[in-house]
Amino acid sequence: MATLTYLQAISAALRDELRADERVLMMGEDIGEFGGAFKVTDGFVAEFGTDRVMDTPLAESAIIGCAIGAAVVGMRPVCEMQFSDFISCGFDQLVNVAGKMHYRQDLAVPITVRLPSGGGFSGGPFHSQNPEALFMHSPGIKVVAPSTAEDAKGLLHAAIRDPNPVCFMEHKHLYRRVKGEVPDEIYETPFTARVARPGSDLVVIAYGAMVEVALQATADLDGASVEVLDLRSLVPLDETAILDSVSRCSKVVIVDEANMTCAAGAQVAALIAEKGFEDLDGPVVRVATPDVPIPFSPPLEQAVLPGVDRVKEACRDLLAY
Amino acid sequence: MATETAQPAGGTTPASEPAHPEHLQLEDRIWLLRAMLLMRGIEERAMSLYRQGKVPGSFYDGYGQEAVSAGAAFAMAPEDRLCILHRDLAAHLIRGVTPSRILSQYMGRAAGITRGRDGNVHFGDRHLGCVGMVSMLPDMMLVATGMAMAFKLRGERRAALTWFGDGSTSRGDFHEAMNWAGVQKLPVVFVLENNQYAYSTPLDKQFAVDPVERAAAYGFTGVTVDGNDAEAMFEATLAARQRAVAGDGPTLIEAVTMRMHGHAAHDDMKYVPKQQVEEWRRRDPVERQERRLRDLEVDVDALRAEVTAEIDAAATEALAGPMPTADDVLDGVFATEAEALGDGQAPWSGYAKAAGGDA
């Protein structure tokens, strides 16, 4: 066990996989000698060489498309989008080529796409997005979103070893803010939800950076017993864990950092409406970013991103319902 | 960087076509004709099944373009990997997909290559080293580039090949693939199937400069080939493959041809001048190969009869096959394990000779 930041845990998983499996290679912009925009692959070239930690042309569609080609002939590519926002330029390859491949022709596409996502640091409209729901809506793509260092490593191991395309949503705001004990060995975290804190009066369902927000907002909420459910995986979505929490707590607040409409939380809300209705003791409440681009200036950005105060208020209102 | 031009000169067709004996044996030349006859015959049968309402959706064929896929695919080795376009049925036949499975595929039947999950020529038999196309063109240029990248990284003497059309040269993925393949000097062969129209859009609305000229700008060889000559296609592709596996990088082959039918079955092609169609009809690739073989005293009529009988049998078999049941329609979105691509058939005598050796 070592205490690692979320970013160090991601680096550790990548290094372990490059050492363990010669089929694994990394592809991305500036990830080689430079070590990546966030230094996730800092020092990798010295150990693994430029073939396995490959600086690519500035071409996101090509990064995904070439990864698909390499994957179907036996490689295990791990693509880095420099920012998750840029996946828009690789969307077609991911959604139409990779996502539909196995259903159409029984051909697996074992690629992992790392997507540094999220806002909170004045990244502006093109360096702050949370595009995960786009891929939830596209069959054939798994989507995971760790909130802790331990899960960042374990989910990345599992993603790289999964025979399917996996979007690995790594939240930039957590990179150096979150630390934790991380096992040294390779371990695969299952694509299931995790109870971050058990409770019985209300459950806050979140993932990624919003898990920490939910924990802080409900640490001391007038003595209420508040559960926090960390989804960890959005595809597959852990329906059992969600409905168990609803059954235990009867009141639900769902937090998304993504834009509100059709976000992951909207799917969770729909699931609860369909299958958990009888257990509810109040309306399903959502806290998310309104449907605006993420603004640049700190007061504007803070005004739209869900924060501790908004989550606290939503929980208080629902508890009083 | 030489751009060799061999565009059809128009006008009358010579009585006897120049042969390319340096690589092709008589059996190979017959194989090429056979593949083209099969392609044409299967597509004609499929069109008639379409008109009978037995082919759902629409139907796309490659009438007049048979030489492009036949010649190029014939130059590829078993361990090479192919991403085949929708007017390139002969490539599937050369790799070893049977006519019956192809007709089943068109009809959305259970015995089709995709078991009814995708239609028409949207398929690739992974057991034969092929990855099926998607409708977003030319997405498969990048997939082929990635396959070639893996071959190079692993030090394997193999190549990837893909076909795409003139319209595809306008998409960003064309640029991204050409650039990536050029930068990394990858063993990939790009076959630009210039059939004069992207749906209804003619070349002069598609590009200002012939795209074969762009190859030099990406740092590799571009050649223009008569796409209605299967043997010329074979030779150009063989040379491109040899460059690829020797580590000399990609090649862009522009195969100049003509789409003799509409974009799909519903398209009456009113936008194509009649004279243009007539000119290209005189350059028919199947007739051209037939003439060569008749000159060599091959019994072409017998070959035709054989092919027709094979298609008849295939149609009977395909029509007798069931439609898929929806029992497993939700299954298979995700893989439980990563299965390998298999090797395809490579009937060229050059590979047959090498089999058992350093193939």
Residues A143 and A11 in one domain: yes
Mean pLDDT, consecutive 10-residue stretches, chain B (359 aa), reads 34 44 87 98 98 96 98 97 98 98 98 96 96 97 98 98 97 98 98 97 96 97 98 97 97 98 94 97 98 97 98 98 97 95 95 59
Identify the residue among A73, A109, A141, A144 best suited for mutation to test binding to B, counting B beta carbons within 10 A and taking the highest: A73
Identify the residue among A60, A100, A104, A143 best suited for mutation to test binding to B, counting B beta carbons within 10 A and taking the highest: A104
B341 touching A (Cβ < 8 Å): yes
B28/B353 Cα distance (integer angstroms): 12
All residues of chain B having their beta carbon less than 8 Å from the beta carbon of residue A142 are 334
B126 touching A (Cβ < 8 Å): yes
B72/A24 Cα distance (integer angstroms): 32
The total of structural domains in chain A comes to 2
Residues (pLDDT < 70) of chain A are: none
Distance from CA of B337 to the nearest CA of A (A): 5
> Which of B114, B134, B338 faces A108 most closely, judged by CB atoms?
B338
Residues A225 and A169 in one domain: no
Residue B119 CA, chain-centre distance (Å), reads 17
A153/A146 Cα distance (integer angstroms): 9
> Which of B81, B136, B332 faces A73 most closely, judged by CB atoms?
B81
Domains of chain B: 26-312 (3.40.50.970)
Using an 8 Å Cβ cutoff, are B138 and B171 in contact?
Answer: yes
B132 touching A (Cβ < 8 Å): yes
B331 → chain A, closest CA residue? A103
Residue A188 domain-assigned? no
B201 touching A (Cβ < 8 Å): no
pLDDT at B355: 61
Q: Which of A139, A162, A182 is the last residue of a domain?
A: A182
pLDDT at B358: 40
Using an 8 Å Cβ cutoff, are A109 and A68 in contact?
Answer: yes
Residue A259 domain-assigned? yes
Residues A26 and A145 in one domain: yes
A61 touching B (Cβ < 8 Å): yes
Q: Which of A157, A182, A207 is the last residue of a domain?
A: A182
The CATH number assigned to the domain holding A220 equals 3.40.50.920
Note whether A105 contacts B145, CB cutoff 8 Å: no
Residue B164 CA, chain-centre distance (Å), reads 9
A75 touching B (Cβ < 8 Å): yes
All residues of chain B having their beta carbon less than 8 Å from the beta carbon of residue A237 are none
Query: A229-250 pLDDT, tens per residue?
Result: 999 999 999 999 999 999 999 9
Residues A119 and A14 in one domain: yes
Sheet holding A76-80, edge to edge: A53-55, A24-28, A76-80, A112-117, A166-171, A142-144, A233-235
Residue A187 domain-assigned? no
* Structural domain containing residue A97: 2-182
Residues A57 and A165 in one domain: yes
> Which of A74, A104, A110 faces B150 most closely, judged by CB atoms?
A74
A203 touching B (Cβ < 8 Å): no
Per-residue tokens: B240: 């491109």
Residues A162 and A245 in one domain: no
A173 is catalytic: no
Residues A211 and A120 in one domain: no
Query: A17-46 pLDDT, tens per residue?
Result: 999 999 999 999 999 999 999 999 999 999
